[in-house]
Amino acid sequence: MNTIDSYSQQSNNNFTIIRLIAALLVIYGHSYPILGSGHPDLILQLLKSRFAGAVAVDVFFVISGFLICASWERNSFSQFVIARALRIYPALIVCVLLSVFVLGFLLTTESSYFSRPEVWEYLKYNVSLLTNKYYLPGVFETHPDKAVNGSIWSLPYEIRLYACLALLGVLSLLKPGRYLLACVAIGLAYSFDLLSYVHFPMDKSWKNLAPFFMAGAFCWIYRKSIVLSAPILALMIIGCIAFCKTDKFIYFYFITLVYATFYLVYIPQLKWSPKKDVSYGVYLYGWPVQQLVLHFVPGCTPELNAVLSVIFALILGYLSWEFVESPALALRKKIKL
């Protein structure tokens, strides 16, 4: 059977290249709002309800749910926490520090830059991922969007979903049957807004991202039962096309994107795939680079901004992987708890 399980046991997959494409798609999607062009990108023109960056983030969260669930199954609780922290925080901390002490310091028009509380709030909140702060005083203030790094908005949700999955794991709910019941219970809680009674954050972004993450975890837990097939994918795509102008489209989009993600991860036998996973670094530095391109090349089109930004983001992503992320991940084997 051509199940996800049978493919996942093989050494070849396309996770790295899919995540890189998603990170580059985020840059493309952001080029239009960053420049304030007022024009939709090609993905938004096609889907109407999802722009390129949102589709890419959906893919990220599907893959994340799948791999994080696998990580939980293969590691102790302490090793799981260490692995997740080493994957997220070192690169993020370096990016935030560079944003505050290099980019902000060099570009700010504020003479008392380091005495402004916004600088230290940006540093504190973005490093801790308790929430996000997007603005530094005197930086990019003439731009259509003044955010120094708008891409990091998704990271607090990522961390919270890691914690939610770990909680389900501690409760022994990450197993076939039990997980399905948990998903149904959570879905009903969503539908009737029951989680608000326990003060659980239920903003729009949480509602958008959590289902994709949980679906990724679902695909890991039920990997032995999910068959990857071109005809099945084709039927899903036909469903998307048939319902693209209705309020039912989002449901077809959801299931098709989840299924298509794993189909593309495992089925195509690509002859080339990057050995270094630079996607996280590209995602972190994409937005600041795009703002810098706009700063130094103010008359460029969204497409030119995206092309130039991709070049520099790939360089920074490589440096982040080589000198921050890879060494940080190597520490995991040395930390014994």
For the record, the structure tokens of 172 come out as 């022994």
pLDDT by residue (tens digit) across 80-134?
999 999 999 999 999 999 999 999 999 999 999 999 999 999 999 999 998 999 9
Q: Which residues of the chain have pLDDT under 50?
A: none
Query: In b/e form, how buried is each residue of 27-39, taking b as 16+ CB within 10 angstroms?
Result: bbbbbbbbbeeee
What is the structure's pLDDT at 218? Answer: 97
CA dihedral 286, 287, 290, 295 (to 10 degrees): -140
Cα atoms in the 13 Å half-sphere on the side-chain side of 319: 10
Determine the Cα–Cα distance for residues 148 and 119; give it in Å rounded to an integer: 11
Nearest partner of 181 among 219, 234, 154, 218, judged by Cα: 218
What is the structure's pLDDT at 200? Answer: 59
What is the structure's pLDDT at 269? Answer: 83
What is the structure's pLDDT at 132? Answer: 93
Nearest partner of 148 among 128, 126, 129, judged by Cα: 126
pLDDT by residue (tens digit) across 169-211?
999 999 998 999 988 887 777 766 666 655 555 677 888 899 9
Give long-range contacts, CB 8 A cutoff, 24+ apart: 46-54.
Answer: 47/244, 47/253, 48/244, 48/245, 48/249, 49/249, 49/250, 49/253, 50/253, 52/25, 52/26, 52/28, 53/25, 53/26, 53/28, 53/29, 54/29, 54/208
What is the structure's pLDDT at 245? Answer: 84
